[in-house]
Every structure is written in structure tokens, then in C-alpha cells.
Amino acid sequence: MSTCLAFPGHGGAIAEAAYEWSRHSAHARRLLQQAAHETGVPVTHMTHASGIALRDTAVFQPCMTAICVAAWLDLDSRLSPALVVGHSLGEIAACVAAGAMPVEAAVPLAALRGRLMSRAASESGGAMVAIEADSEDDAQRAVSEARRAGQIVIAAHNAPDQWVLSGATAALRAVASRFRPRLVATGGPWHSSALAPYEEEFRGALDRAVEREPRVPLLCNRTGDVVTGRSELVTALAEQFTHRVEWVRCMGTVEQCGIARVITVGPSRTLRSLIRRNLPELPLFGIESPADLSQVNEGAAA
């Protein structure tokens, strides 16, 4: 049965997941320690129930990547995926699962990404909101109307009727109520020109981290298509930093590839919701905690 592995990005509380994985997975303990080294934040703070330390993008991103890569390492011997995909930050873990990036490169890369994004947010301010719109024309209309108050762009197309806008706080507040704007829990205006000053630094780090072309077909957020070459992958990941996430297109490619099931790897409540909204009939499994690995053994990997 053909399987697509999907890795989450931002969204949701992960402190409990970090705690559970650190208790039961040697891979998680090692990678969370690597995240602690990169951030200067002790593992005990990352796994504390309050989740306070993880509110900082610079801490959240390497911690989430550590959990997702550890979960994949614990899952790896149980199945061979036909396709892998990650949502935004999740593309780093997806690169590891696709065989394009060594395990030891993932957490430092995510830590750099988090630091750069945190720096950009402190310099430019801004945030993100999700809106409801039936078409790209309607989403662009929401942007055009709000742009009079400040910079704003479409940052993601997550579901057929859900778009995420990124930009200046004043512009986001000006989005018309008919689009039902809802604040997204992120630390700044991601996937926008606010990150442009740091794109080349991130591209350089990607060029060092991505060592080979994917061995497993890898979908990229930038286009929604499968990436086959190493340089193509580096470019796609670098451009995703400042361009919108084409998640709906990614899900369309999953469907076109004839995938029989999707398994989310890591804390994925938000991601599973987005997959359901795009592919409601496709069997969907989640590896949220180490306990879920036995379910994959018994069911998803049957």
C-alpha cells in the first residue's frame, strides 16, 4: 500500500509531545539535546508543560524538528514511503526522510531558520491571519482592500477555502470581516518579503545541509510538485522562506500519485485537519506520540 509521510510545521502546542518522546525515544533525547545546544535552552524547558520556552520561534523550530525527525527514525524500519511532504518548517524533516539531508544537519538548520525568522519579526513586526475565500481572486481581493493600511500578501493556500495572509499588523486588522479573519499563532509575518534580507543566508545553509538528491519522491511547498534534483531542492526550500506555501497543490499531487494513505509524523493536529480538508476520503494516520508506533505496526503498515 503506497504511503505518503507528512511532516508538520508551526501550529499547536508541542511541549507534551516533546516530553513523551524524550521519555521513550533515544533518538528524541539525542536530537532534543542537539536543539538545546543550538538554542542555549535546556531540554527540561522545552519539555515543560507550560510550553513557555517554545513560544519563541527560535526555540520552537529546532524542538519541533527534533521531535519529527526522531519520530521518523523510530518509524523508519516499519514502512517504505512512496512520497514525503512537509508543511513549511516540516520540509526540513521531510528532506531527512527523503534521504536528501543527513539526520545531524536537520536540527541546526531549523535552529538557524528560527533565529533568522525571529530576527526578522523583531525588525519588521507583523503577524498572520487565516481567512475564508472560495477562490484566489477573492483572497487577492481581501489583500487589495487591506493593503491601503500596510504591506500584506498571501502566505499560504492551506485548503480549498482557507488562505493565510501575512504582513503588517495594521493591514491584517484591516482585512474585511466578511472573510472571517482569524489570527494564526505564529511569531511574525512568515512567507513574505519581511524575510527577504535573510533568504541568502538561509540558502547558503541549505546548500551545505542538502547533500544529495532525494531518494524518495519529495513534494515541495513552493510549487506543489515533486522535486528530483539537489539544486532544485535547495532553491525550492530557499524560496519557500519568502513565498507562499502551496499546500492545496501539494495535496492535489498526493491524489494524482495514487497514494493510498497519509501518515503524519510528529505533533500534527493542525496538519491532519488541513489534510482532511483537502483529501477527506484518504485514510489518515498520525504518529503523535511513541504509543502511536504500535498502531502503525498493527494497522497503517499492514
Question: What average pLDDT score do residues 101-117 get?
Answer: 98
Mean pLDDT of the chain: 95
Q: What is the DSSP string of 63-113?
A: HHHHHHHHHHHHHGGG---SEEEE-TTHHHHHHHHTTSS-HHHHHHHHHHH
Chain segment 3-59, per-residue pLDDT in tens = 999 999 987 679 999 999 999 999 999 999 999 999 999 999 999 988 999 999 999
Round to the nearest angstrom and report the end-to-end CA distance of the chain. 8
CA distance linking residue 204 with residue 192, whole number of Å: 19
Please tell me the pTM assigned to this model: 0.96
What residue ranges define each of the domains in the chain, with the CATH number in brackets?
Answer: 3-122+193-300 (3.40.366.10), 126-183 (3.30.70.250)
Task: Answer whether 110's CB lies under 8 Å from 94's CB.
Answer: no
Among 212-221, 223-232, 278-287, 291-300, name the one with the lowest average pLDDT: 291-300
Query: Within a 10 A sphere around the Cβ of 44, how many other Cβ atoms?
Result: 12
**Grid coordinates representing 139?**
483572497
Chain segment 203-242, per-residue pLDDT in tens = 999 999 999 999 999 999 999 999 999 999 999 999 999 9
